Structures are given as structure tokens and as C-alpha cells.
Amino acid sequence: MPSNIYTKECPFYHPEEILHKRLRDGHKVFVELVHRLDVDKYCSPIISKWSFIAFKRHNDHSEERDSKFQ
């Protein structure tokens, strides 16, 4: 599962970003992957900011999702 997508020029690309509009030939794009999710004391997965924005799409999470992008 991806946990972040970035370049040397930009430390965070929003999951809905159209990358080809922001990149030029020769840019290197880095994708960090998580092979295993850690869990918190309630056994809920601990996910990255990028994963939260990408995968927590329900309206119940909209306010928290927006705050993580700031």
C-alpha cells in the first residue's frame, strides 16, 4: 500500500493530484510502500497522511482529511 508519493521538489503530492501536470521529463518520483500496517492500542491500522487522504473517503472523515492536507 502506498504511504507517500513525492519528488525532491515536492515532499507531498495529494492523492488526487494529476502528476503529469506537475512533472517534467527527467523528474524522479518516489513512492513509499508499506508492506505491513502497524496497529494502535485499539487494533486500528495506523496509516500515513497520504493513505488517510486517499482511502478514508467517507464524509464522516472529510474534516479530518482536509486538516491533514493543510
62 has pLDDT over 90: no
Q: Residue written as cell 492500542? A: 41
Residues 67, 36: Cα–Cα separation, whole Å: 25
Specify whether the CB–CB gap between 53 and 64 falls below 8 A. no
**What is the pTM (predicted TM-score) of this model?**
0.67
Could you report the per-residue pLDDT of 50-60, keeping only the tens digit for each? 887 787 666 66
Q: Domain limits at 10?
A: 2-69
How far is the first Cα of the chain from the last one, in angstroms, to the nearest whole number?
A: 22
Could you report the per-residue pLDDT of 29-51, keeping only the tens digit for each? 999 998 888 899 999 888 888 88
Confidence of residue 69 (pLDDT cuts 50, 70, 90): low
Instruction: Report how many domains make up the chain.
Output: 1
Helix (H, G, I), strand (E, B) or coil at 30: strand
